[in-house]
Amino acid sequence: MLKLHTASVGSVVTVKDLSSTGSLRERMLALGLTKGAKVEVIRKGPSGDPTVFNIRGAMIALRNEEASLVAIQ
């Protein structure tokens, strides 16, 4: 299963599932990371972490450990 942190810059992916729990899950849902949402990978930080994503028109930076909890297709 592909994870969000493996998506390449410039790609547009679809959220399939979240494996986070608790307050992190609530935060991700509030940011728009819901099933079926389109996410565009904008750019990666100098060391590859964090990565900036366009989620429903908002620019959101996620660390790799957070993005690895988002299954994509």
Q: Is 53 exposed, middle or buried (0-12, 13-18, 19+ CB in 10 A)?
A: buried
In this structure, what DSSP letter does residue 48 have?
Answer: S
pLDDT for 66 equals 94
| Residues 43, 51 contacting (CB under 8 angstroms) | yes
CATH architecture of 2-72: Roll (2.30)
| Residues 31, 39 contacting (CB under 8 angstroms) | no
Delimit the domains of the chain by residue range: 2-72
pLDDT for 1 equals 84
pLDDT for 30 equals 94
pLDDT for 38 equals 97
Query: Per-residue confidence of the chain (73 residues) as pLDDT tens digits?
Result: 899 999 999 999 999 999 999 999 999 999 999 999 999 999 999 988 999 999 999 999 999 999 999 999 9
What distance in Å separates the CA atoms of residue 18 and residue 5, rounded to the nearest whole number?
13
What distance in Å separates the CA atoms of residue 48 and residue 50, rounded to the nearest whole number?
6
What distance in Å separates the CA atoms of residue 13 and residue 25, rounded to the nearest whole number?
19
Does the global pTM surpass 0.85?
yes
